[in-house]
Amino acid sequence: MNNINGKLPENDPLTNPKQRKLIDQIIADNKKIAGSTMIVLNELQSQIGYVSEPMQVYVAQMLQIPVSAVHGVVSFYSFFTTTPRGEHTVKFCMGTACYVGGTPQLIDKTKQVLGIEPGETTPDGKVTFELCRCVGVCSQAPVIVVDEEIFGQVTPNKLPKILSAITEK
């Protein structure tokens, strides 16, 4: 029961004895309580930093629930990531006001400047590029969130300056 089927990628947390111990501990501590799936995944995201695909399969096996149930939670909440996040995160609001106000153009510009797609991290591990739901400041659309800081009325021209401030941090 402690083995997941198939080969694990070399750098997966499940192959690292220290991280594996932590994962097993988190599952053991929470498997009997109500809402264990969400609690276990939350703890894994906080303590390991992400929930890889093999970790999702492992959690499903250990909690005796379908893998699709775990995938469903991980893909629904933007808090979860399946790869490690970079030092900084830049999120683009996909709520209606922001989307209509220019988020797609900002996303295109960011792809050019950072050379990565949404959901990816720059190769130097500095910046993770993400999309998010409405962050509640629609009057300032389009909005981006850099770490915890909100930038409103962002234009493609202003964006390179904001992004270079992050990469130089």
Task: Specify the long-range contacts of residues 114-119, CB closer than 8 Å, at least 24 apart.
Answer: 114/163, 118/92
Minimum Å gap between C-beta 107 and ligand FES is 13
Q: Which is nearer to ligand FES, 9 or 136 (CB)?
A: 136
Closest CA to 39 of 27, 24, 56: 27
Question: What is the SS3 assignment for 97?
Answer: helix
Q: Which is nearer to ligand FES, 86 or 142 (CB)?
A: 142
Coil, helix or strand at residue 89: strand
* Least CB distance to ligand FES at residue 81 (A): 21
Residue 10: both structure tokens together:
């070399």
Containing 8, the helix (H) or strand (E) segment is none
Binding mask 80-119 for ligand FES (x = CB under 6 A): -------------x-xxxx---------------------
Per-residue contact string for residues 125-144; x = within reach of ligand FES by CB under 6 A: ---------xxxxx--x-x-
Which positions touch ligand FES (CB under 6 A)? 93, 95-98, 134-138, 141, 143
